[in-house]
Amino acid sequence: MARTPTAPPPIQPPAPMVQPVAPLPQVTQLPRLSLLEAIAAAKANFGDLSFDQDNVYLKSKYTGLPKLLKAVEPALLELGIVIHSQFVYEEPFWRLRTTVGFKDGSEDFCSDFLVTDMSNMHKFAANFKIGTRYNLFALLAICPEKDDDGNEAVYGNSPPAATQLPGLPGGVQSWPAPGQQVQAPPAMYPQQAVHPGWQPQPPMATMPPAMVNPVQPLPVLQ
Task: Tell me the pLDDT tens digit for each residue of 128-139.
Answer: 999 999 999 999
Is there a domain that residue 9 lies in?
A: no
Total of domains in the chain: 1
Q: Please state, as a whole number, how many other Cβ atoms lie within 10 Å of the Cβ of residue 10.
A: 6
Distance CA 80, CA 36 (A): 13
Average pLDDT over residues 117-126: 88
- Relative to beta strand 60-62, strand 53-55 is antiparallel
Domain that holds residue 78: 35-146
Percent of the chain scoring above 70 in pLDDT: 59
CA dihedral 212→213→217→218, nearest 10 degrees, is -130
Is there a domain that residue 195 lies in?
A: no
Is there a domain that residue 101 lies in?
A: yes
Q: What is the DSSP letter of 45?
A: T
Distance CA 162, CA 170 (A): 11
Confidence grade of residue 200 (pLDDT, cut at 50, 70, 90): low
φ, ψ of residue 55 in degrees (nearest 5): -95, 105
Is there a domain that residue 73 lies in?
A: yes
Is there a domain that residue 69 lies in?
A: yes
**In the predicted model, what is the mean pLDDT of the chain?**
76
pLDDT at 101 over 90: yes
Is there a domain that residue 105 lies in?
A: yes
Distance CA 118, CA 93 (A): 10
Higher pLDDT, 2 or 121: 121
- Relative to beta strand 81-90, strand 60-62 is unpaired
Confidence grade of residue 213 (pLDDT, cut at 50, 70, 90): low
Is there a domain that residue 77 lies in?
A: yes
Average pLDDT over residues 61-71: 90
pLDDT at 91 over 80: yes
Query: Helix-strand-coil percent breakdown of the chain, rounded to 5?
Result: 25, 15, 60
pLDDT at 83 over 80: yes
Is there a domain that residue 211 lies in?
A: no
